Amino acid sequence: MDDNVTAFAAATEQPDGSAHGPIPLGGLLDHLAIGVFRCSADWRLLAASDSFARLLGYPSAAELTRDVVDLEADLPVLLRRADPFADAPDRDDGVRNFNLLVRRHDDGEKRWIAVFLRPVRDRTGALLYSEGVVKDVTERRNAEAAVARSERRLRDFADVSADWFWELDRDLRVTHVSPGARKESDDVRYRFVGRTPREIVGGTRGFEDWEPCLRAIEEHEPVAAYGLRVAMPSGGTVWVEARGKPCFDDDGTFSGYRGSFRDISPIVESQHELRDSEERFRRLAAVTQEAVCIFENERIVDANLAFATLFGYRPAELPGRHLGEFLAPQVGGALPLVLSEILNGDSTETIGIRRDGQNIPIELRGRSMPFGGRVVRALSVRDLTRLRHVEESLREREELLRKVLSLVPYSIFWKNRDLVYLGCNDVCARELGLDDPAAVVGRSDDELETDPVLRAEWRELARICLEGRPVYEHEFERRDPDGSVRTFLLSKAPIHDRQGRVVGLVGVIADVTERTLAEDALRESEERYRKISEIASDLMYSYRYDADGSVQFEWLAGSISDLDGESEQDHFRAGDWLSLVHPDDHEIALRRREKLQAGIPSVDEFRVVLPRGGVRWLRARGDPQRDDEGRIQRVIGAAEDITAEKNAEAALRKAKDLAEAANNAKTRFLAAASHDLRQPVQAALLFADALGGMLERPGDRSALARLRSALGDVEGLLEALLDISRFEADLIRADMRVVDLGAIIYRLALEFRPQFQRRGITLDVVRSSVSVIADPNLLANILRNLLANALRYTERGRVLFGVRRRADACVDIEVWDTGPGIPEDQREAIFEEFRQLGNEGRDKSQGLGLGLSIARRTALLMGHGIGLRTWPGTGSVFALTHVALAPSQSRSRASAPAAPDVPPARLPKQALAGRRIMIIDDNRPVLEATGVTLGNLGAEPILCESLDEAVVALAGPGGPPEAIIADYRLGDELTGAEAVDVLEAMSGRDFPSLLVTGDIAPARLVAASASGRRMLNKPVSAETLGKAVIDLLAARRRVPASGAAGR
């Protein structure tokens, strides 16, 4: 173009060197779309071609000249800058070229033009004018802009479609790295710029994986590589997928390289995790106890060791075998239908066939699941042989329990919270008028009991029991159809679930008619002989002492049966009365004489042997008389024949011994029955808990839940029998704790108010919000006795029940009545057993006279007292005194909030992993159940049915155990404590030990406690047993080695 401009300028230069004149070659310029012009030194337009004018939107150069004023105004826009030659040397004739954006005159359209400008100078170098050539380059600029925009769009697309988009130059050095999806900072990205790929990845981990990719780039070949690691300058390593392509010029010359990296770290990490998960699955399937196989098209692909062992194969023999080979023929024929059902979430029980042809009951479950990028089908097989044996064992034990309960001579029953019978024994069914205990289940007393008074009384007792308070020996009477009246004692205890909630009650009813008749006879006999004792003495006498010390009878009056003969009286008068004393009582008679001679009055009882035969008891009273000088002068006395009284006392003692023997026999029966019943129940509870972790099918879990519920009822029944036995065996102990006194007063008011209302007596209760330190059950029983006493002796008026504060941080709980009051000489006697005021006829409807005696003894057990204030003819106040306030209320009347209940933590599945525990029990089912329970917690149980087996196991290859669990009653009169002592003596070490017993006999409980070892009462749940063993081992770890011998 520079040459064209020069030629054009030379052709148009005037001969005189002026710059004015027309410019030819218009047609050619129009054809070339080129315009020429000439400007003065001050940049005024001197001449222009028509093509130049048309480029600017004018019809011709003439029009452009006429519009020169406007053109001059547009020159700065045209040229865009000042003198383009201002910085050029004077002799510089070089051409300047630049692009300008101009607006056309006619339509205002913006156009790009390329300007080529050459200066014309004189001989001195001064600028004469400038010549220029312009060309419309709008289309070219638009094309270049479109290419640039397209390139930017492509780069933007590369930036967002890949984690990195990169470019290399001819020397394979990085010229550009996009931020991409990872959004690395410019500083981090530009650390790559200027470096070759080999320099970037060299020395990093996994460099060898890059070698094929680097070699392809260096050889200008396309790249497509997956799973390469890149060490980032910002830290860390990422996995990438690399893709690239070389770039070439039009002539085929290599011009650079372009490519992208896609971050596939999550994919690679997921693949690694998938491989690890697959490997873990294979290992888990290999060690799990459940038989599992993977199958496709009804043929086994893989199976674990448990599956192979179950069917008698080696694992390597299973792949490729058809599933029908392992199932009974009737199932194998319908295998597609069975697989379809179990893969939809169902399970089925069928018969499996072992390799040796043996049939085994099994349960099939299946599942389809994604695995390793595909869907696999898994089949799990559970051997039901052991479950069937356990179910059969449970049925046998349930039948045994039913037979044992049928032999108990008491009515035993248990109900739910709605007071509907859940079960009873044969005696209870017969008392309710039915032959079969099953006919009682599901019915209530409203249907079975015809006496409305008894129904109401039983409902009230049940309400008290469902509040968590047992009821002991409530007496009631029932009239039989033949008109006879029988007396019964009813005891009830609440049944709690595992969360401590009351879910029902258990009761025992004993027919005590014969015992009541015997007690009435004893009371009548007691009253008869009391009156006999009030009759005048049988014999009165007086004798003196002579100076020589001999005894001379002065007179003898009265008569004693068999002593009224002449010869017997002669013995007394002759002073030979000692010869009549029974040889075993001579010492008593001699001591009596010595006391009388010393002037000490004496009352003695002794036996005499009559000359005519027979033995009599005498109660002899003697009173020494002194003379004026103080010497013993004579003795005046009386003797009464108390033979009948002694015989009555002997009869009473015999009756009492018989009653105590009967009670002890009952206690021994309950202890023996409880022990024998607790053994199978213990095994059943532990096996049921063990099954809980093995059952998956909803039907099995439902059946197990019903089984656990039934066992829970039996467990509650046994616990209630244990409570009753402890009460009757005088084993009750005070459990002192903080008690809400207001709640107890409120419940007692609800219990007694209907009874007071029936008698027309007003019961006023003063409510209280204090809390005290006491045993809640014993406290309620004392107050119940005081209220019952007020109800019995108040004929009219009112009874007041409330609390009075004392100054010593204690309270008195008082019961005021408007009864007859108590005479002064009877105020201590009323607390004696069998003593009642105003009941000389011993009306048994007014009780036995034991309430106040029991209340006083119970109060003393808790460190309290029973106070009495009385006004004959006005009323009395009985009070439970010195009841200590709870610490938080000794200064405030506000009741302290109850501490929240904390749920027990569940045991971890492997809480005893690897711990060797020896179990000694002569009951095989209990032994196996205990072993299964501890095995489910990860322990290694050592099962021993006797001490001999334990001795052998102690020297076994596994070494000594870490702890020992032993039943207290083993065979051959051996106890668990003695067995542990033998093992410790043989091994020379102390073992943490736990005694488990189902015995409730007081003597054995005391002996077990005296062993100093921890003890649990059967039945024991799996969770309670596990926690006890964990605590036992934890306590052992806390004891230093030097003190390990102590227990």
Q: Is the pLDDT of residue 670 over 70?
A: no
CA–CA dist 94, 883 (Å, integer): 124
Q: How confident is the model at residue 718 (pLDDT cuts 50, 70, 90)?
A: low
Chain centre distance of CA 925: 28
pLDDT score, position 1003: 61
Percent of the chain with pLDDT over 90: 6
pLDDT at position 532 over 70: no
pLDDT reading at 88 higher than 60:
no
What band does 34 get if pLDDT is binned at 50, 70 and 90? confident
Average pLDDT of the chain is 76
C-alpha of 385 from chain center = 31
C-alpha R_g of the chain: 58
Q: What percent of the chain has pLDDT over 70?
A: 72
How confident is residue 234, by pLDDT bands cut at 50, 70 and 90? Answer: low
Q: Quick check: 814 pLDDT over 90? A: yes
The band of 799, judged by pLDDT with boundaries at 50, 70 and 90, is very high
Reply yes or no on whether the pLDDT at 720 is more than 60: no
Sequence-separated (6 or more) residues with CB below 8 Å from residue 514: none
SS3 annotation, 165-229: EEEECCCCCEEEECCCCCCCCHHHHCCCCCCCHHHHHCCCCCHHHHHHHHHHHHCCCCEEEEEEE
What is residue 1045's predicted lDDT score, i.e. its pLDDT? 38
Q: When comparing pLDDT for 630 and 872, which is higher?
A: 872
Give per-residue pLDDT as tens, 848-890: 566 677 788 788 878 888 888 998 888 999 999 989 888 865 5
Alpha-carbon distance of 488 to 269, in angstroms, equals 79
Distance CA 397, CA 923 (A): 13
Residue 685 or residue 956, greater confidence? 956
How high is the pLDDT of residue 895?
Answer: 38
**Residue range 592-619, pLDDT digits in tens:** 888 888 888 888 888 888 777 778 888 8
* Amino acid 574: pLDDT: 44
Q: Is the pLDDT confidence value at 978 over 80?
A: yes
Which one, of 423, 507, 427, lies nearest residue 472 by Cα? 507
Question: What residue ranges in 232-317 does DSSP mark as E strands?
Answer: 237-248, 254-263, 291-296, 299-303
Q: Which residues pair with 942 in a beta bridge?
A: 918
- What pLDDT score was predicted for residue 561? 44
CA distance 597 to 166: 136
Beta pairing partners, 502:
496
How does pLDDT run across 386-404, given as a tens digit for each residue?
A: 888 888 888 888 788 777 7
pLDDT at 165: 78
| More confidently predicted of 194 and 697 | 194
State yes or no: pLDDT of 736 exceeds 80. Answer: yes
Cβ-based neighbours of 784, under 8 Å, separated by 6 or more:
748, 751, 752
Selected residue with higher pLDDT from 57 and 502: 502
Which one has a higher pLDDT value, 157 or 365? Answer: 365
Beta bridge partners of residue 5, listed in sequence order: none
Min mean pLDDT across 43-57, 339-353, 398-412, 520-534 is at 520-534
Give the range among 210-214, 315-319, 493-497, 1016-1020 with minimum mean pLDDT.
1016-1020
Enumerate the β-bridge partners of residue 771: 740
pLDDT band, residue 688 (cuts 50/70/90): low
Q: Which amino acid, 685?
A: L
Q: Which residue has the higher pLDDT, 202 or 825?
A: 825
> Would you state the pLDDT for residue 82?
38
Residue 890 dihedral angles phi and psi, to the nearest 5°: -70, -20
Q: Which comes out higher in pLDDT, residue 183 or 231?
A: 231
pLDDT band at 813 (very low <50, low <70, confident <90, very high): very high
Query: What band does 304 get if pLDDT is binned at 50, 70 and 90?
Result: confident
Per-residue model confidence (pLDDT) at position 21: 46
Highest mean pLDDT among 70-79, 86-95, 201-210: 201-210
State the pLDDT at residue 22. 46
Taking the alpha carbons at both ends of the chain, their separation in whole angstroms is 115
Which of 472, 468, 471 lies closest to 495 in space, CA to CA?
468
Q: How confident is the model over 114-156, as pLDDT tens digits?
A: 888 888 888 888 888 888 888 888 888 888 888 777 777 776 6
254 Cβ partners below 8 Å, 6+ apart? 170, 220, 246, 247, 248
How do residues 800-811 score in pLDDT, each as one tens digit?
A: 999 998 888 899
- Give the chain's domains with CATH numbers: 2-136 (3.30.450.20), 147-263 (3.30.450.20), 270-383 (3.30.450.20), 409-516 (3.30.450.20), 536-647 (3.30.450.20), 669-731+910-1047 (3.40.50.2300), 737-889 (3.30.565.10)
* pLDDT at res. 898: 37
- Greater model confidence, 867 or 3: 867
Q: Is pLDDT of 15 > 50?
A: no
Q: What pLDDT, in 10s, does the model give residues 554-582?
A: 666 555 544 444 444 555 544 456 778 88
Sheet holding 502-511, edge to edge: 421-424, 411-416, 502-511, 485-496, 471-479
Q: Where are the beta strands (DSSP E) in 41-109?
A: 45-48, 96-103
Note the pLDDT of residue 19: 47
Q: Which of 211-220, 226-235, 420-429, 951-960 has the lowest mean pLDDT?
A: 226-235
Query: Which residues face 803 on adjacent strands?
Result: 813
